[in-house]
Amino acid sequence: MTTVRICVCGDEGTGKSSLIASLVKDVFVSNKIQSVLPQITIPPSITTPENVTTTIVDTSARPQDRTVLRKEIRKCNVILLVYSDHYSFERVALFWMPYFRSLGVNVPVVVCANKSDLVRDSSTPQVVEEEMLPVMTEFREIDSCIRASAREHSNVNETFFLCQKAVTHPIAPLYDHKEGDLKPACVSALRRIFYLCDKDQDGYLNDDEMHKFQVKCFNRPLAPEDLDNIKLSLSKSIPRYSTENGIDMRGFLQLNKFYAEKGRHETIWVILRKYHYTDSLSLEDSFIHPKFEVPEYASAELSPAGYRFFVDLFLLFDKDNDGGLNDHELNALFAPTPGLPQSWIESSFPSSTVRNEAGHVTLQGWLAQWSMTTFQEPKTTIEYLAYLGFEPFGARDTLTSALKVTKARKRRNRPGRVERNVVLCYVLGAASAGKSSLLDSFLNRPFDSLYHPTIKPRRAVNSVELPGGKQCYLILEELGELEPAILENQAKLDACDLICYAYDSSDPDSFSHIVDLRQRFPQLDELPAIYTALKADRDKATQRSELQPDQYTSSFMMSSPLHVSVTWNSISEFFVALAEAATNPSTGFPKNEEPPPDRSSYYIAGGAVLCAGVAAFMIWRRSTNAA
């Protein structure tokens, strides 16, 4: 429920109290009323159909009441400034508006020309609307002006409705009277709304899209004649404007500009709020950041609805049907968002995922990138689902229906698959061991013989088909110079599904780095692992280590290192092996490491024997007593 506090100000004798009394009594009170009425609170059912409670505060302009006046002005949401003749009109610009500014208040002001009934039956000077324009130009805080008559009960309700509307549907964030145009923040919000309504992304809102827009925002269909009138108005106001294909972005903005110019800015607010915008024209925090918790040892993944949304989005913006999103198509896709997610920029997207020969992200890479984002920072995915216009299927569903939470897993050395489709593997090893080339090969990039040291962590994500035909998304992460800091972070290790210990089989000093790592970070023993001898196409070197790699792994009953080369066509089988080990973590532990025996069967059997013994004893006692 919204509460609007109106402070009624103005010179003595302008009819402030009479306006309030006329609103409450619904008729003019001819008897003399007290000079300052007590505070009045009007419930929503009486004021407007909206859920607004209105508090009206009468004030005095006498110098001795100035302290109370200042206090009430600072407490209010909107000021109703009343004048009734030429003198009190002049005081609007000369005294009242500068006075409000001197108090430092930042609230809208509605100016009311009261006693308009005197225009017809006396020569009392009255101010016409045109004379208020210079004042409104000078004082931007003036929201609107209206003529009223407390005696004839003319425009009294409308006056206070304008005050409510100035708070609930303020014009200031929407329209710049000086420039005569919509403000940039309003234009930005309306551009996003146009984008979301343009379902086929052809740059026009056709008749069907306009109809759906009308139903969504105003809960009623758009009559054909109303749509024709809208198109006619746009054709008249914009030179050489054609509505043959529908209403384009320029026409949509012009239509909303009409609403602002004609004082129908509440229409714009209905549209904005239907699309979850706040008074400051930002998206509601509860909308873009709904509650979504991932329990410890669990992870987040896209649900089928989430994958379907991102597939449709890709196909919609792949305008040239080349199977990839080029820079122009990506820019168009992310137009209603703040831009690429920060984590994508940090990972140098699209180099973090699969691209075609032209360097454009493919559908496979697009889904892999969002799978990785959801796994690592699900709240970013939810935020972008909101920006991009994901609409849940069910009426009670929220944005979070595009995601799902996997079953928590803590003990990884128990046999069986983990119930997750996105897994993370850290690739650890000495500098120049070939880790970066391994990630390039994972993304189907050609081998580059030039060595580029990795400074900051680098990720690569791609889909892998497991034995049996099931697909999963594998994230390979090379830690770079942050390797020690990440390995000391228990939360980072908890998120990891597999360690790939990689060394250069042709470099005699490469394997010792792995031995040193495992000694420095014994917590790595809690994670499943695979040992890998890279650059197997080169001559094998004897490692300067106490134990050779095969001896080292066999000393604690682990499989021997896999010998692979990124130049071999069989490298894809290695990535399948990684994904298989990550989804079956018990295979990545020493063979003699057995899980604790399940003693529940012993307890059940023992309980059964005990119950049988008790039953036999009771039978024996009963037979003895009978004898």
pTM over cut 0.75: yes
Establish if 593 belongs to a structural domain. Answer: no
Q: Are 219 and 342 members of one domain?
A: no
Domain boundary among 406, 439, 458: 406
Give dist(CA 411, CA 587) in Å, integer. 13
Establish if 174 belongs to a structural domain. Answer: no
Residue 146's nearest CA partner among 109, 171, 112 is 112
Q: pLDDT at position 454, please?
A: 76
Residue 419's nearest CA partner among 608, 584, 609, 285 is 584
Q: pLDDT at position 487, please?
A: 93
Q: Which residue has the tokens 């198109």?
A: 231
Domain boundary among 139, 169, 199: 169
Q: Are 139 and 189 members of one domain?
A: no
DSSP codes joined into one string, 471-511: EEEEEEEE-GGGHHHHHT-HHHHHH--EEEEEEETT-TTSH
Residue 14's nearest CA partner among 65, 118, 88, 86 is 88
Q: pLDDT at position 291, please?
A: 93
Q: Which residue has the tokens 């495992």?
A: 518
Q: Are 384 and 516 members of one domain?
A: no
Determine the straight-line distance between the first and last CA of the chain, rounded to whole angstroms. Answer: 83
Q: Are 340 and 260 members of one domain?
A: no
Give dist(CA 364, CA 71) in Å, integer. 63
Give dist(CA 344, CA 384) in Å, integer. 12
Q: Are 554 and 448 members of one domain?
A: yes
Q: pLDDT at position 46, please?
A: 47
Q: Are 270 and 306 members of one domain?
A: no
Q: Are 53 and 109 members of one domain?
A: yes
- For residue 200, the domain's CATH number is 1.10.238.10
Provide the domain limits for residue 337. 295-406
Cβ distance 432 to 451 under 8 Å?
Answer: yes
Give dist(CA 237, CA 79) in Å, integer. 35
| DSSP structure class, residue 447 | P
Q: Are 494 and 440 members of one domain?
A: yes
Q: Are 568 and 460 members of one domain?
A: yes
Q: Which residues of 545-577 are buried (b: 16+ CB within 10 A; e: fewer)?
A: beeebeebbeeeebbebbbbbbeeeeeeebbeb
Consecutive sets of 10 residues in the chain, 627 residues long: mean pLDDT of each? 88 91 79 80 65 90 92 94 92 94 92 79 46 80 87 88 88 83 94 94 94 92 91 91 92 93 86 92 93 92 96 95 94 94 92 92 96 96 95 82 90 81 95 92 84 84 91 94 91 93 94 94 93 93 92 91 91 94 90 51 48 55 52
Q: pLDDT at position 617, please?
A: 54
3-state SS, one letter per residue, for 323-386: CEECHHHHHHHCCCCCCCCHHHHHCCCCCCCCECCCCCEEHHHHHHHHHHHHHHCHHHHHHHHH
Report the number of distinct structural domains present in the chain: 5
Give dist(CA 384, CA 378) in Å, integer. 10
Give dist(CA 427, CA 574) in Å, integer. 13
Antiparallel, parallel or unpaired: β 361-362 and 324-325: antiparallel
